[in-house]
Amino acid sequence: MSGATTSDRVAELLAHPRYEVLPFGSVEEAVLEHVPVDVTLTVTVSPRKGIEHTLDVTERLTRHGYSVVPHLSARLVRDRVHLAEIVARVDEIGAHDVFIVAGDADEPAGEYAGAAALLEAIAELGHRFENVGITGYPESHPIIPDETTIQAMFDKARFATYIVSQICFDPGVTASWVERVWSRGTRLPIHVGIPGAVPRTKLMRVSTSIGLGASARFLRRHKSWFGHALRPGGFSPDPLIAGLEPSLADSEHKIAGFHIFTFNDLADTESWRQTRLAGHALGSGHAR
């Protein structure tokens, strides 16, 4: 895009983000109240409620006009019959994009212990979704060696069309990881995972629970950075986005979007996004 600036690129990505929501409580009502229908939604899987509940939420949100991406958890799929039922349900809903994860269940319900095995099984069914997302880890995984996560990326990438990164509070680490992924030959577009505008206590609690040990240490070491990221009531993603700006200027657009972990704090996250977009529009107007 001729004459485009990094600010334009940020605005472009914030205009079309992906909001990750949790299939709990009154999330449907919160989405309808606060989220425009042009925002893509992704719906996580609860080990307790199962994939079917995620698909129920996906179907209801789709009926409201949203583009919805269900997460499919490998460790909750019992067998190939169950998988075929899940794939058929996704088709019935009209979803064309799925996000494949290993899942948080302590023990697999069947033969699929990880995302790669599930992706291969879906391919063997002869199904081809328009888009298939897989996870990536900018930081070391809390329990899986780096060599294993790198190999897993290769195993999954042949079935995928994009990658979503786990949250990392050090944008330099994320930027370096993006370059390493592409330099190893996995040249899929990457949607960088960032927290939405969420309460500080919730963010720290969730960071600990999902194993972001290195990021938690980064926050402790860079208290001034974290202080800058705090606003009245919670965390602001702005410093993370600012730290990623050099990568966003890359002409290859390795970073294809923002995957925003809302933790169902949809009102504050959408208010933050609209404020950013309005600020860019105002700045562009002054520039002209």
pLDDT at 237: 92
Secondary element (H or E) of residue 194:
strand 190-195
pLDDT grade for 231, boundaries at 50, 70 and 90: low
Residue showing tokens 């893509």: 40
pLDDT at 104: 83
pLDDT in tens, 113-162: 999 999 999 999 998 899 999 999 898 665 566 777 788 889 999 999 99
pLDDT in tens, 149-164: 788 889 999 999 999 9
Structure-model confidence comparison of residues 222 and 199, the more confident one:
199
Amino acid at 280: H
pLDDT at 106: 86
User: What's the rounded mean pLDDT across residues 218-235?
Assistant: 54
pLDDT in tens, 66-107: 999 999 999 999 999 999 999 999 999 999 999 999 988 889
pLDDT at 202: 75
User: What's the rounded mean pLDDT across residues 43-58?
Assistant: 95
User: What's the rounded mean pLDDT across residues 262-271?
Assistant: 95
Q: Is 60 exceeded by the pLDDT of residue 288?
A: no
pLDDT at 201: 75
pLDDT grade for 281, boundaries at 50, 70 and 90: confident
Q: Is 50 exceeded by the pLDDT of residue 59?
A: yes
Q: Residue 69 forms beta bridges with which residues?
A: 42
pLDDT at 274: 97
Cβ neighbours around 131 below 10 Å, total: 13
| Cβ partners under 8 Å of residue 52, min gap 6 | 89
Structure-model confidence comparison of residues 167 and 258, the more confident one:
258
6-287 placed in CATH 3.90.950.10: no
Q: In angstroms, rounded to a whole number, what is the distance separating the alpha carbons of residues 239 and 204?
A: 16
Secondary element (H or E) of residue 62:
helix 50-63
pLDDT at 207: 58
Q: Is 60 exceeded by the pLDDT of residue 182?
A: yes
Mean pLDDT rounded to a whole number for the chain: 87
- Name the residue ranges covered by the structural domains of the chain: 6-287
Q: Is 90 exceeded by the pLDDT of residue 280?
A: no
Best CA proximity match to 195, nearest among 105, 97, 272, 101 = 272
**110 within 8 A of 76, measured Cβ to Cβ:** no
Best CA proximity match to 191, nearest among 36, 44, 16 = 16
